[in-house]
Amino acid sequence: MNNNPANKKSMGYWSIVAIGIGGMVGGGIFAVLGLAVQMAGGGTPVAFLISGLVALLTAYSYAKLSATYPKRGGTVEFLNQAFGPGIFTGGMNILLWLSYIVMLSLYAYAFGSYGASFFPAASQPLWQHIFISAVVLLFTFLNILGARVVGRSENYVVGIKILILMVFLLAGLWSIKAPNIAVSTWSSPLQLVAGGMVIFLAYEGFELIANTAENVRNPKRILPRAYFTAVIFVIVLYVLISLVTVGNLSLSKIVAAEDYALAEAAQPFLGSAGFIMIAVAALLSTASAINATLYGTAQISYIIAKEGELPKSLDRDVWQRPIEGLLITTVLTLLVANLFDLSRISMMGSSGFLLIFAAVNAANYKLAPKTGANRWVALVGTIACAAAFAALIIQRGMTAPSELLVLVVMVAVSFIIEVVYRRIKGRTIKRTLS
């Protein structure tokens, strides 16, 4: 094994952008687009724009923090640097790890559902589990091979799925029906914001860029450019996709086809071939999201363990990579994706990331003298994430209060693990402030 540090700096600008786009354009846009339309109505493109602006504000904080602290811990490192060791930092770090496992499971579940749709109905449940397990294991193997393989595989997968979505957009934009997107079809302002926040999980993948920092050739130059390129591109992509969807199908048909709304939207102008084409894009998108998220989650489990908030065995490198953290994350993802129906917790996944992103924006505000950030932008980002979280919680509390229990359990478990593990093992949290 060549241990030359220069050889570890194997990822360039386009590979990093691909990681970010791959993390964002994943299972979310395909799995819960129908739910977002159900909540926002004809104003769904506006809802996507609102959630995209929240993501862009947070990307600013990530860009500043990543350039200042180019370490593989990403979000974990930023919270440690800003707030130091303690219950808040430890609990938020574990919440991040659990949120990634939830998102990985959602992506795998969506991949299994789309893959099984090509088989007879009677055998679909079996094939769904086969596809779920196969895709997670495949990309675990690719991540074990190293960062260069992850980046290259993302380049190819992202390129193919974006090409398919571009065909969908170019064909669909010509056949949009104006009455479908009239202001009269829009939901109330609260519903618009809540609809955007439901689909916020489709944007959350951009923060995976932070976890690539130690493998980037020139992080101070490449990382900020990669963040903004990936997020702005995806905002435009999502607004156009939602515009084509609501512009070509009636709201009632979209709601009826909630689980596969995007594929259904392709049929009016591309026929049955369009349905198949979008289903293939869904498979590629969820696969690339799993690829990118597994890469980032392995880095996160490593750094959390290194700081003393998870078992020490997870901070051991194998072949200069956090293999043990990757394998444990894979096992947990396989169990959750195969044993549970994740559709009901997708909204709480978004809520978890909004909480984490609010904390990251606050970290950027606090560390502004070191990061060179504009404190007003960081403050607006913090407020935007908190307000978006509140809007989603209020809306879901009025319509489906039982779903709030999932978020409460996730947050409670995160802090319980952080407190109980340290009391049992007596590990001291390392102070990494610099």
**CA distances (Å), 165 to each of 8, 13, 168, 369, in order?**
33, 22, 5, 42
pLDDT by residue (tens digit) across 380-421? 999 999 998 888 888 778 877 877 787 788 888 888 887 887
Report helix, strand or coil for 292. helix
Exposed/middle/buried for 425, CB within 10 Å: 0-12, 13-18, 19+?
Answer: exposed
Residues of the chain with pLDDT under 50: 1-7, 309, 311-321, 429-434
Query: Percentages helix, strand, coil for the chain, rounded to the nearest 5?
Result: 85, 0, 15
What are the structural domains, with CATH classification, of the chain? 11-425 (1.20.1740.10)
| pLDDT number for residue 319 | 37
Rounded distance, CA 334 to CA 169, Å?
Answer: 34
| pLDDT number for residue 429 | 47
- Contacts from 262-265 at CB under 8 Å and sequence distance 24+? 262/29, 262/30, 262/33, 262/168, 263/30, 265/172
| pLDDT number for residue 263 | 80
Rounded distance, CA 144 to CA 293, Å?
Answer: 13
Report helix, strand or coil for 321. strand
| pLDDT number for residue 357 | 94
| pLDDT number for residue 303 | 57
| pLDDT number for residue 356 | 93
| pLDDT number for residue 56 | 95
Exposed/middle/buried for 149, CB within 10 Å: 0-12, 13-18, 19+?
Answer: middle
| pLDDT number for residue 404 | 79
Q: 217: part of which helix (H) or strand (E)?
A: none
CB contact set of 426 (below 8 Å; sequence gap of 6+): none
| pLDDT number for residue 426 | 55
| pLDDT number for residue 314 | 46
